[in-house]
Amino acid sequence: MTAAYVALEGGHVLEARGRAPGTARGELVFTTAYTGYEESLTDPSYEEQILTFSYPLIGNYGVREERFESDRVHPRAVLAKELTEDVADWLASEGVPAVDRLDTRDVVTDIRDSGAMKCGIAVGEDVTEEDALAELEACKAMSEHTEIGEQVSVDEQTTYGADNDGETVALVDCGAKGSIVDSLLARNATVHVLPHDASAHDVDALEPDVLFISNGPGDPANYENAIDLVQNFAEETPVAGICLGQQIVAEALGGATEKMTFGHRGVNQPVLDLESGQVVMTTQNHGYTVAEPGDHLEVTQINVNDDTPEGLDGVDYDIITRQYHPEANPGPEDTLDFFDDVLAMADARATTAVPADD
């Protein structure tokens, strides 16, 4: 059996079975999802993290590229109770260390009790505990990954749906999932995907109907360019955001964000809409949250479990944001109408901006 060691913040080292070789370090988090492992593993929001699956068997329906949310695996390493050969081989081909035969119930309990923590992993024929501890020692806090946007964003503008005749969306890619683009294209939008550090000039040149800030990894305070874009365009252009995007919008407009103890990750997070009283189930993956919305935003939806903000609307601007993933694959699909609301907001703004005929 290939040796594997998992060093946890505080110095405790776990032994496991190695399934994909290598060394890695990152913030140790967990997801409660029991399907959608392909989507989770290719979600850019897991950049610089080590992902623990709480469900005991991962890989029981294989690996299919059409389910991927990006072009690569983003977690630095993977922990599971049991990984199938398909998933283990996939992770090995991606150079992502993986281990199993762990009591992931204990790991998840540790994270829930102590919070997301630094972690080091070593997998291979000749690795030792000291190799995992060395990775742990070199591990940085998520807030210290100040250039994390560069690791997950496009390098240059890319356009999708150029022949569509719907709204034009400038999507700032801070680590966008592919399903966000797909959801907008399905509604006849033209989507210009911009780098995370796009300038106001870049956005202006597109004359977009919507400025859309994507999901992504890390501390929202480190996305200074995206914050500047929201500040520059909020008065004149409708703004939307998902996950990290909601946090960036809040940071830009006088609100505040904070690190959560262990975050929300999974496909069964209940969200209450404060106006309708309806509860919907959502997919989530984030370690930061909006602590204060500020004067320009109001909280419209909250998490049933801990009352954290799940939806924000603009008080005096055209803004809609969601902390969860309305585009979630494999599901649930309770909140796909968010994209209809975003494009309707843009259409309404465009209609009122055009003077009526005499």
Q: Which domain holds residue 235?
A: 148-353
Please answer whether residues 217 and 46 qualify as being in contact, where contact means their C-beta atoms are separated by less than 8 angstroms: yes
pLDDT in tens, 117-150: 999 999 999 999 999 999 999 999 999 999 999 9
Based on the fold, state whether residues 228 and 194 are members of the same structural domain.
Answer: yes
Is 214 found in the same domain as 103? no
Is 55 flagged in the annotation as binding?
no
- Report pLDDT for 163: 97
Residue 358 lies in a domain: no
Establish whether 244 is an annotated binding residue. yes
Residue 116: CATH number of its domain: 3.50.30.20
Question: SS3 of 118, please?
Answer: strand
Whether 116 and 155 map to the same domain: the answer is no
Total domains in the fold of the chain: 2
Q: Do both 302 and 347 map to the same domain?
A: yes
Residue 143 annotated as binding?
A: no
Predicted pLDDT at 358:
44
Does 247 belong to an annotated binding site? yes
Predicted confidence at residue 216, as pLDDT, reads 98
The confidence score (pLDDT) of residue 349 equals 83
**pLDDT per residue over 80-103, tens digit each?**
999 999 999 999 999 999 999 999
Same domain? For 180 and 298 the reply is yes
Say if residue 173 is in the same domain as residue 238.
yes
Pair (122, 254) in one structural domain: no
Note whether residue 71 is domain-resident.
yes
CA distance 217 to 238: 24
In the block, residue with structure tokens 């252009």:
237
Residue 70 φ/ψ region, left for φ over 0, alpha for ψ in the -120 to 50 degree band, beta for the rest: beta
288 phi and psi angles, rounded to 5 deg:
-120, 160
Q: Which residues of the chain have pLDDT under 70?
A: 353-358
- Greatest alpha-carbon pair distance for the chain in Å reads 82
Establish whether 336 is an annotated binding residue.
Answer: no
Active site residues: 243, 325, 327
343 inside domain: yes
Per-residue confidence (pLDDT) for residue 329, from 0 to 100 = 86
Residue 8 assigned to a binding site: no
Quote the pLDDT of residue 350.
76
